[in-house]
Amino acid sequence: MNQAINNGAVRVLREYTGRGPTQARSVIDRNSVTIMFVDTLTPAERRLAENGKADHVMRTRHELQVLMRDDLVEVVEDALDRKVIAFMSANHIDPDMGVEVFVLEPLPASPTGVDAGS
C-alpha cells in the first residue's frame, strides 16, 4: 500500500509540475496517511526562491496543491479502499520538502465496541 501511494503521488506531482520529487515516504496510521516528499521544486522554482521570490513559489505551489487535491485523494482512496475526509498540504523551500496529509473516514466500531483497526 505504501509503495502504491508513493508511486501514485509522485506520478501526480510529475503530471502537474513536469517533475516529481526524488524521494517519497508514506506513513499509514489507523485514520491518516502522511506523505513526505524531498526535492520537490522545479529548477525554475529554485531559481525564483534563490532570487527573493520564495513567497511567489509558495503561493504557486499552494494553487497547484488545490488543483491536485482530487487526484491525490484518489491515489490514497484507491490504495486503501477507504474514504478520505480531509486533505492538507504544505511545502517548505529550504530544505526543499513537501508534505501531504490525508485524514481517513474512521473505521466502524466492531460489535465489541472497539475500533476495527485496533
User: pLDDT (tens digit, 9 = 90+) per residue, 52-106?
Assistant: 999 999 999 999 999 999 999 999 999 999 999 999 999 999 999 999 999 999 9
pLDDT at residue 112 greater than cutoff 70: no
Type of residue numbered 49: A
- For residue 55, is it within any domain? yes
- For residue 116, is it within any domain? no
Average pLDDT of span 2-16: 96
Tell me the per-residue pLDDT of 15-65, one tens digit each, with 9 for 90 and over. Answer: 999 999 999 999 999 999 999 999 999 999 999 999 999 999 999 999 999
Type of residue numbered 28: I
pLDDT at residue 113 greater than cutoff 80: no
Q: Which of 89 and 108 is assigned the larger pLDDT?
A: 89
Whole-angstrom Cα distance, residue 30 to residue 107? 8
Q: State how many domains the chain has.
A: 1
> Any idea what the CATH number is for the domain that residue 39 is in?
3.30.70
The cell for 71 is 487526484
Domain extent, residue 55, equals: 2-104
Whole-angstrom Cα distance, residue 7 to residue 20? 10
